Chain A
């Protein structure tokens, strides 16, 4: 190396220095990039969390406004429609007392019956609109009372059993769909089963909510199996992700509705 001219030595030194700087520079870039990336990812996470919060807040606001609207409709119905139906009933009864013609009295009775039905429908609507009723216990109690009232007017005896242990919230949609299905089932029993007895069992097994309706009637016929009523039940069950099954018990029919509560 001693023989090498100074220019060449200098070139080697420059080259080694350049390599050194190159390596240092790359290390500097990598370290700086990694630090910035950590900050960038944290900022991104924060932004995402904020976005999620905003979405959640929006959803909460929406639910709140839906709830407020439902309450308003519910109050309006109760105050306006309810009072109107009651006034109509009173007037009809007053009119009935004044009438001496029997055929006219029968017409007024029909009017009274329609008013009573209207009153019941309104109460059902109010029940389904009220957010405070969005619990499984409330649904069970309401359905049991409805069933008792429904079958009281018929020759069918009803026995109700409740094996419920834990109350939990259910959505209004869920509650409404389940109740309408139950109504349809009761109606079918009354119309087609020729049954004398009906057993209604509400049962809770861990996360599974089960309703069993058994009668001692003639069993299910082909017409009913493919009728609109059962199709509607099936559709409603699909909407709320529940299942239902029908068994021919000989005598009678058993209907089971099962819903796995995700809570």
Chain B
């Protein structure tokens, strides 16, 4: 696997989002519901991965990084959803779902299991849908585009859909169509760029957002 232009572009946007969240956190001491933490962990892991790929050495296998990142992402967005909707019942429901997922995937740290990735995507899609349902039942004074979590969950929903699109073909093709899989990978990096751009917009909204 090689690093291409799409990978670099994605990492630049991710770095910008991380730096901006750090800046907001340090300068204004504004609450951004730990988005800074999520971006920083992502930035760190992706950075380590790129370094490993660029210098062609392997301290930790790529699959382990991604398995950790999946578990972290699921935990983070479960908690993030809880912060937005403040409903303990839904929070416990997702904790149980998350626990079930962990048992089901049996901590696949040694190989990428496409089925687990599909479950992971569905988990994030369900989180987003629950968020939207709550958003529509608990209407706020702010306009929808001024709510940071709307941007975050829209980004996550879009990202999860394309993540599915990335991993479902693996189930069928078993990596036989390398050119096609590379195209999908490049397309996914563009989706990553859009996702983290939405995160930057969300962070900008956090600057003026009043939690009510």
Interface residues of A (CB under 8 A from B): 4-5, 7-8, 11, 14-15, 18-19, 22, 25-26, 29-30, 32-34, 36-37, 39-41, 44
Q: Is the interface of A mostly helix, strand, loop or mixed?
A: helix
Give chain B residues whose Cβ lies under 8 Å from the Cβ of A14: 165, 168
B173, CB-defined interface residue at 8 Å: yes
Checking B135, B141, B169, B177 against A33 with a beta-carbon cut-off of 8 angstroms, the contacting residue is B135
Minimum Cβ distance to chain A for residue B6 (Å): 17
Do the beta carbons of B169 and A11 come within 8 Å of each other? yes
Do the beta carbons of A8 and B169 come within 8 Å of each other? yes
Minimum Cβ distance to chain B for residue A9 (Å): 11
Minimum Cβ distance to chain B for residue A15 (Å): 5
Give chain B residues whose Cβ lies under 8 Å from the Cβ of A25: 157
In the bound complex, what is the Cα–Cα distance between A8 and B179 (angstroms)?
11
B172, CB-defined interface residue at 8 Å: yes
Query: Could you list some 10 contacts between A and B, CB below 8 A?
Result: A4-B180, A11-B172, A15-B162, A15-B165, A22-B161, A26-B154, A29-B135, A32-B136, A36-B139, A37-B143
Q: Are A18 and B165 CB-contacts (below 8 A) given A8-B177, A29-B136?
A: yes
Q: Are A8 and B173 CB-contacts (below 8 A) given A14-B168, A22-B158, A30-B144?
A: yes
B132, CB-defined interface residue at 8 Å: yes
In the bound complex, what is the Cα–Cα distance between A11 and B164 (angstroms)?
10
Do the beta carbons of B158 and A40 come within 8 Å of each other? no
In the bound complex, what is the Cα–Cα distance between A25 and B128 (angstroms)?
12
CB contact list, B120-172 vs A, under 8 A = 132, 135-136, 139-141, 143-145, 154, 157-158, 161-162, 164-165, 168-169, 172
Minimum Cβ distance to chain B for residue A235 (Å): 43
Do the beta carbons of A33 and B136 come within 8 Å of each other? yes
Q: Are A37 and B139 CB-contacts (below 8 A) given A7-B172, A22-B158?
A: yes
Minimum Cβ distance to chain B for residue A118 (Å): 62
Do the beta carbons of B173 and A7 come within 8 Å of each other? yes
Q: Is the interface of B mostly helix, strand, loop or mixed?
A: helix
Minimum Cβ distance to chain A for residue B7 (Å): 21
Do the beta carbons of A41 and B177 come within 8 Å of each other? no
Minimum Cβ distance to chain A for residue B103 (Å): 28
Give chain B residues whose Cβ lies under 8 Å from the Cβ of A18: 161-162, 164-165
Minimum Cβ distance to chain B for residue A71 (Å): 46
In the bound complex, what is the Cα–Cα distance between A44 and B154 (angstroms)?
28
Give chain B residues whose Cβ lies under 8 Å from the Cβ of A39: 139
Give chain A residues whose Cβ lies under 8 Å from the Cβ of B177: 5, 8
Q: Which residue of A lies closest to B180 (CB)?
A: A8
Give chain B residues whose Cβ lies under 8 Å from the Cβ of A4: 180
Q: Are A37 and B165 CB-contacts (below 8 A) given A7-B172, A29-B132?
A: no
In the bound complex, what is the Cα–Cα distance between A39 and B141 (angstroms)?
11
Closest 7 CB pairs of A and B: A40-B139, A15-B165, A36-B139, A33-B144, A7-B172, A11-B169, A18-B161
Give chain A residues whose Cβ lies under 8 Å from the Cβ of B145: 30
In the bound complex, what is the Cα–Cα distance between A5 and B173 (angstroms)?
10
Q: Which residue of A lies closest to B137 (CB)?
A: A36
In the bound complex, what is the Cα–Cα distance between A36 and B141 (angstroms)?
11
In the bound complex, what is the Cα–Cα distance between A7 and B154 (angstroms)?
28
Do the beta carbons of B157 and A22 come within 8 Å of each other? yes
Give chain A residues whose Cβ lies under 8 Å from the Cβ of B168: 11, 14
Q: Which residue of B lies closest to A19 (CB)?
A: B161
Q: Which residue of A lies closest to B172 (CB)?
A: A7
Do the beta carbons of A36 and B136 come within 8 Å of each other? yes
Q: Which residue of B lies closest to A23 (CB)?
A: B158
In the bound complex, what is the Cα–Cα distance between A19 and B162 (angstroms)?
8
In the bound complex, what is the Cα–Cα distance between A29 and B144 (angstroms)?
9
Q: Are A11 and B139 CB-contacts (below 8 A) given A4-B180, A22-B157, A22-B158?
A: no
Give chain B residues whose Cβ lies under 8 Å from the Cβ of A34: 143-144
> Most B CB atoms within 10 A — which of A19, A26, A29?
A29
Q: Which residue of A lies closest to B154 (CB)?
A: A26
Give chain A residues whose Cβ lies under 8 Å from the Cβ of B164: 18
Minimum Cβ distance to chain A for residue B35 (Å): 20
Give chain B residues whose Cβ lies under 8 Å from the Cβ of A33: 135-136, 139, 144
Checking B144, B162, B173, B180 against A37 with a beta-carbon cut-off of 8 angstroms, the contacting residue is B144
